[in-house]
């Protein structure tokens, strides 16, 4: 009688529940200098005793952000790895996620199990968002020093990231920006999605950020969170589009 396996051995059935749980992945995106690395350092300081954490940074030509985080001493140095994208940062977090996906996988293989891996995008403009194939959730960071009108400038991260952070609120008084207004404008375009006004010098705001991170990790593990794509560009129209179509 012919061998029904064609000579291939049939692997033993394995329950998927036996497989190790992979780390929850949160992406941190936003324009250059808005405080992404500092926010990651803050989260690590706040949650390192509750979660097993790892960090992947993205820079174009350097590993500057990884070196900053290692120097800050927020995690063991081997838990912080850098991807050098060599091109537009958003390419490596959205269009071809291979390098980042491998970096997270290698970090977990070498130092896992981990509960949470934070992936920092290289600083980019308002269009940068992560692929939901790379991260389970993403937060978008703006800062008050970028100007009070930046929320109104819009973009997919501002409108549809899982969390919008208005950062460096301690500087608002020095740059003449109304933080409440920025937060209100964020809420207007985001509906139910949360907005946090953050300063690393304000413990209450750091607690709010940490609570959001813990809630996300719990929700992802319990199957209550569905990763979504904020989209490449916010749908938008211009007032004169209508006139052109009908002229």
CB 217 within 8 A of CB 22: no
Q: Which is nearer to ligand GTP, 164 or 220 (CB)?
A: 164
CB 109 within 8 A of CB 147: no
Of all residues in the shown chain, the one whose CB is closest to ligand GTP is: 123
Count of residues engaged in binding ligand GTP, rule: CB under 6 A: 15
Please, what is the minimum distance in Å from the beta carbon of residue 167 to ligand GTP? 6
Does 193 sit behind a cis peptide bond, omega within 30 degrees of 0 on the bond before it?
no
Please, what is the minimum distance in Å from the beta carbon of residue 118 to ligand GTP? 12
Please, what is the minimum distance in Å from the beta carbon of residue 141 to ligand GTP? 7
Q: Is 32 marked as binding a ligand?
A: yes
Interacting positions 156-185 with ligand GTP (CB under 6 A)? 167-168, 170-171
By the rule CB under 6 A, 38 interacts with ligand GTP:
yes
By the rule CB under 6 A, 76 interacts with ligand GTP:
no
b or e along 54-85 (b: 16 or more beta carbons within 10 Å of the residue's beta carbon)? bbbbbbeeebebbbbbbebebbeeebbbbbbb
By the rule CB under 6 A, 70 interacts with ligand GTP:
no
First to last CA, the chain: 78
Please, what is the minimum distance in Å from the beta carbon of residue 206 to ligand GTP? 9
In whole angstroms, give the CA distance from residue 220 to residue 180: 30
Retrieve residue 150's tokens. Answer: 């930046």
> For ligand GTP, which residue of 34, 85, 138, 220 counts as binding (CB under 6 A)?
34
Q: Is 35 marked as binding a ligand?
A: yes
In whole angstroms, give the CA distance from residue 97 to residue 102: 8
Q: Which residues bind ligand GTP (CB under 6 A)?
A: 32-38, 65, 123, 167-168, 170-171, 199-200
């Amino acid at each position: 009688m012919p061998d029904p396996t064609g000579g291939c051995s049939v692997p033993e059935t394995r329950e998927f529940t036996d497989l190790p749980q992979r780390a929850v992945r949160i992406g941190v995106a936003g324009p250059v200098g808005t405080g992404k690395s500092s926010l990651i350092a803050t989260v690590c300081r706040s949650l390192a005793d509750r979660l097993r954490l790892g960090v992947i940074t993205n820079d174009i030509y350097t590993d500057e952000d990884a070196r900053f985080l290692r120097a800050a001493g927020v995690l063991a140095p081997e838990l912080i790895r850098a991807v050098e994208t060599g091109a537009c940062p958003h390419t490596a977090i959205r269009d071809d996620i291979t390098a980042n996906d491998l970096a997270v996988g290698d970090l977990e293989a070498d130092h896992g199990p981990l509960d949470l891996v934070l992936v920092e995008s290289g600083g980019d403009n308002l269009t940068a968002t992560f692929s939901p194939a790379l991260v389970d959730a993403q937060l978008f960071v703006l800062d008050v020093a970028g100007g009070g009108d930046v929320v109104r400038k819009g973009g997919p991260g501002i409108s549809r990231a899982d969390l919008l952070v208005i950062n460096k609120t301690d500087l608002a008084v020095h740059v003449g920006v109304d933080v409440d207004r920025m937060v209100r404008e964020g809420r207007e375009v985001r509906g139910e999605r949360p907005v946090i006004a953050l300063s690393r010098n304000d413990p209450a705001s750091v607690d709010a950020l940490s609570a959001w991170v813990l809630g996300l990790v719990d929700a992802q593990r319990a199957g209550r969170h569905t990763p979504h794509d904020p989209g490449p560009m916010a749908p938008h129209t211009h007032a004169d589009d209508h006139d052109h179509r009908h002229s």
